[in-house]
Amino acid sequence: MVEKKLGKGLSSLIGFSKKDEIIMISVDRIKPSAFQPRRRFDQKSLSELAESIKAKGVIEPILVRVGKNGDYELVCGERRWRASKFAGLEKIPAIVKNLTDEEAFEISLIENIQREDLTPIEFALAFDKLIKMGYQHEDIAKKVGKSRSWVTNMLRILKLPENVKKLIDEGKISLGHAKVLCSIEDKDLVEELAEKIVKDGISVREVEEILKEKRQKALPFPIKEKIKSKIQKVFPESDLKIKQRKDNKIEIRLIVSKESIL
């Protein structure tokens, strides 16, 4: 299958030309971008890149824009910049462009997508930023060369419980698993299945089968929420879990502070 290319390549976004001058900039005058969608940098990979830079130098210049106080802000090439610092370089080749916040973010996002460097959570957070900047799902899909439904599914990941999002971000839960978890309304069930995915290494198909079986036997979601609502009226700060047992009885686990029952 031929991989679908991005709707707009980096070269067209950045507007490189033969007149662009490559200059040497002190690594200490360059600051990370607030618009960098990537939040994690693998230390082993950076060390390997640093060794390559020691041997061959920085082959591809980074892209920066003028920042505050005469410094520069990174747009593309944060791995090269970080690895250059590890390698002990004082200066790094760079191209300086006059870019708006929106242009800088868009370029940084698409560079990472082209390199397949982002986790599902980083994709989702980046898309959420674009939404706040006024983009529609369809706009984002065209920018990154994906379908509208793919963009929508990525954004749905942000609604998962924080501990589950952390597992996805760490690569312990795949995007395929995450999509199945996004289809579940019951937060407790999401967390239960997420734990099982990590602990037992079950496949996406196995998760779907478990979910199908549980839905056939489960206490209807509105009834479960009604029980939870009544208990939380009495103990609003409680940690509450409700599940239906195999013998068709309801099991309620309630953890409350001593102060709330005195």
With tokens 């507007």, the residue in question is: 15
> Cα separation of 127 and 107, whole Å?
13
- Does the CA dihedral 1-154-167-177 come out positive or negative? negative
Q: Where would I find the beta strands (DSSP E) of the chain?
A: 22-26, 30-31, 62-66, 72-76, 91-96, 239-244, 250-255
126 and 113 Cβ atoms separated by less than 8 Å? no
Is 78 in the active site?
yes
CB contact at 8 A, 124 and 182: no
Q: Of these residues, 73, 78, 106, 191, which one is catalytic?
A: 78
At 123, the amino acid letter reads F
Strands 91-96 and 62-66: parallel
How crowded is the C-beta side of 205, counted as CA atoms within 13 Å? 0
Cα(138)–Cα(68) distance, rounded to whole angstroms? 34
Distances (CA, A) of 74 to 12, 19, 65: 19, 20, 7
Provide long-range contacts, Cβ within 8 A and 24+ apart, for 253-262.
260/235, 261/235
Are 77 and 61 within 8 A, CB to CB? yes
CA distance 128 to 125: 5
Q: Which residues are catalytic?
A: 78
